[in-house]
Amino acid sequence: MTKKAWISLVAVLLGLAIIFAGCSKKEEKQESSQQEMKQSTQAAATPIDPNTVATISGAVKFDGTAPKAQKIDMSQDPACKGTNETETVEVDGGKLANVFVYVKDGLGDRTFAPPKEAATIDQNGCKYHPHVLGVMAGQPVTITNSDNTTHNIHPSPKDNREWNESQPPKGAPLSKDFARQEVFVPVKCNQHPWMKMYIGVVKNPFFAVTDKSGKYELKGLPPGTYTIAAVHEKFGEKDTQVTVGPKDSKTADFTFNASGAPAGGQ
Amino acid sequence: MTQAPPYNPAHHRFLVFAACVTLLLIVAGALVTSNDAGLAVPDWPTSFGSLYRIPPMVGGVKFEHGHRMLAELVGFLTIIIALWTWRAERRSWMRKLGFIALGTVIAQGILGGITVLYYLPAPISSAHATLAQTFFCILVSMTLVTSRTWMQTTPQSVEDRRSPRLRTLAVLSVASVYVQLVLGAAFRHSGMKLLPHLISAVVVTVLLLWTTTRALMNYSAIPQIRRPALAVLSLLLLQLSLGFGSYLTRVVWSKDAPQPMISMVVVTVAHVAIGAVLLASTLVLALQSFRHTSPAAEPAMAHATGTGKAVMV
């Protein structure tokens, strides 16, 4: 074999070695994420006196004319038979759905163990259900495919491990988690480009996602002063400060309008 | 100097075929990006765990896996090109070029795999797009130098006394189009803003108009220069229109679109494909400029002036 042929062969083998090194890197990242999850579950949850807990609740409203839902063309996959309108902006009677509301600040050094119960995402009608999901860092997320077509689930986080997996029709559920707080993690399907959802990952259990009523409720808060954030994928984030005493029940409403900036993670 | 072999029509036509398939592959790759189907097949080098099974070709998979199947065909054709050129060619640089093409397509495949394994990192995706067009240019060059016209026509070697020479303008044109391609790929794969690509478009337009005007006004009697110059001029105008259309459909109209719009897909894919053809045509014009023009000969004698400076007579 000539010298040049040897050099070419070595170059190709090096290229392959880089690829396999990349594969093992992904496994190392996965290991690291699992270790972080273990550590967060093993950290002692700070006890809260149930006799003093307070509640913050309210509604998220939309001011002005809401953009109309856009039509989706699902014809590229005959197996897709869902409702063909976008869920980006859902306004009903001036109330805004799919807003992620959470305690952004005020809990100090308190730590909270993530629940063992998994949150669920279902792919049905070639859409993700729910459109916005709230989970705790380290909480398992079970992903199911109820459609008669293959989907792929591709979260694109900034602070968490990125992954991309396909799921065959009625395939075995996937179980994943997000180790670090991040609001929002956008998720998309590369098979069906209209399929999008957002996951709010937080370190505490005080979060909610508004439904069509626009209402939210954060229960079990220890007395204190909190920054409550309401985040919408298109209209951005609104924050407010609320102070609650023992057994208090306070209201904090949010109002979005069409001029808001998109939320982080896009 | 190695003597050129006789014209080999079979070899030449195979190269033409391979270049056409490569252009189709560039279109297929552009369809993947424009349809946001880049990771529809999540694994590599297998597809859904298999090296040979064809998955259901629906949704994003039909673009991504279709692209992979065409890429395998191009790889296979390139192996044949490398071996056939090695056997058939007496020009040593052509024999090497065949293997350079093979190395390029292998590198291109590896880059494509890395984009899948590392979730479309912008520099790798941009490099993948750029190398695709580089490979296309290699095949077009090989096609040109194996053509009947190239092998059976004596070069005219017309003296070029102008400054800058046509050769220089043509080389600068190729370089500018290549830079424009890199900037376009970087924008398309979210690695860079649009402004550098727009500024570069002005530079490309000026250079190509200058080069083609020079070629058509002074060398129109040489069909090997006239034809690629006309092609470059036509493609430039078309590409500028497609560029404007891409901006409208992708940046303006698709801003809040829930999915890739068909108008955006068609226009942006055409912009990529015509960009490749424009680059290749500019390269052909450059190669033909070198073949059919020559620098002006140095004068035989010169006077020295009273100032001590030499003056051309």
Task: Determine the pLDDT at residue A10.
Answer: 65
pLDDT tens per residue across span A60-97: 999 988 888 888 999 889 999 877 888 888 888 889 99
Give the residue from chain B lying closest to A85, CA to CA. Answer: B258
Question: Do residue B110 and residue A19 have CB atoms under 8 angstroms apart?
Answer: yes
Query: B63-66 long-range contacts, Cβ below 8 Å, gap at least 24?
Result: B63/B28, B63/B31, B63/B32, B63/B35, B63/B37, B64/A190, B64/B32, B64/B37, B64/B38, B64/B39, B64/B40, B65/B40, B65/B41, B66/B28, B66/B31
* ipTM > 0.95 (yes/no): no
pLDDT in tens, B75-131: 999 999 999 999 999 999 999 999 999 999 999 999 999 999 999 989 999 999 999
What mean pLDDT comes out for the span B179-206? 93
> Cβ separation of B259 and A156 shorter than 8 Å?
no
Model pLDDT, residue B312: 36
Chain A residue with minimum CA distance to B65: A191
Sheet holding A119-124, edge to edge: A127-129, A119-124, A141-145, A174-176
Pick A194's closest partner by Cβ from B117, B256, B259: B259
Question: How many contacts does A have with B, using Cβ atoms within 8 A?
Answer: 88
- The answer to pTM > 0.95 is no
Residue B21 to residues A91, B17, B101, Cα–Cα distance (Å) = 50, 6, 14
Are the beta carbons of B103 and A8 separated by less than 8 Å? yes
B32 contacts on A by Cβ (under 8 Å) = none
Which chain A residues contact residue B86 at CB under 8 A? none
Q: Can you give the pLDDT at residue A49?
A: 87
Asked if the Cβ–Cβ distance from A26 to B42 is below 8 Å, we say: no
The residue of chain A nearest to residue B260, with distances taken between CA atoms, is: A193
Q: Among partner residues A19, A149, A165, which is closest to B117 by beta-carbon distance?
A: A19
Mutate one of A9, A20, A23, A190 to test the B interface: name it (highest B CB count within 10 A).
A190
- The beta strands (E) that lie in A31-167 are given as 54-63, 91-92, 95-96, 100-105, 119-124, 127-129, 132-136, 141-145, 151-155, 165-167
* Nearest residue of chain A to residue B103 (CA atoms): A8
Partner residue opposite A22 with nearest CB, options B42, B61, B117:
B117
Kindly determine whether residue B117 and residue A23, on different chains, have CB atoms separated by under 8 Å: yes
Q: Report CB contact under 8 Å: A190, B60.
A: yes
Tell me how far apart the alpha carbons of residues B144 and B151 are, in angstroms, rounded to a whole number.
9
Q: How many Å lie between the alpha carbon of A86 and the closest alpha carbon of chain B?
A: 7
What are the chain B neighbours of A15 within 8 Å (beta carbons)? Answer: 106-107, 110
Residues of chain B contacting A162 with CB distance shorter than 8 Å? 119
User: How distant is the Cα of A212 from the closest Cα of chain B, in angstroms?
Assistant: 21
Name the residue facing A193 among B35, B48, B61 (closest C-beta).
Answer: B35
Distance from A266 to chain B by nearest Cα, in Å?
A: 12
- Cβ burial, residue B243 (10 Å; 0-12/13-18/19+): buried
Whether residue A70 and residue B256 make contact (CB cut-off 8 A), yes or no, is yes
The model's pLDDT over B119-128, given as tens digits with 9 standing for 90+, comes to 998 999 999 9
What is the structure's pLDDT at B11?
A: 97
What distance in Å separates residue B145's CA from the closest CA in chain A?
24
Which of A25, A166, A188, A235 to mutate against chain B (most B CBs within 10 Å)?
A166
Q: List the single best residue of B39, B110, B124 to mutate versus A (max A Cβ within 10 A).
A: B39
The structural architecture, per CATH, of the domain A54-257 is: Sandwich (2.60)
Q: Is the pLDDT of residue B31 over 70?
A: yes
**Residues of chain B above pLDDT 70, percent:** 93
Q: Which of B36, B62, B258 lies closest to A86 in CB terms?
A: B258
DSSP single-letter state for residue B299: P
Kindly state the tokens that stand for A9: 């062969």
Closest Cα of chain A to B278: distance in Å?
Answer: 31
- pLDDT value for B1: 47
Residues of chain A with pLDDT under 50: 18-33, 35-42, 264-266
* Region B166-174 average pLDDT: 96
Using DSSP, state whether A49 is helix, strand or coil: coil
State whether B117 and A79 contact (CB < 8 Å): no
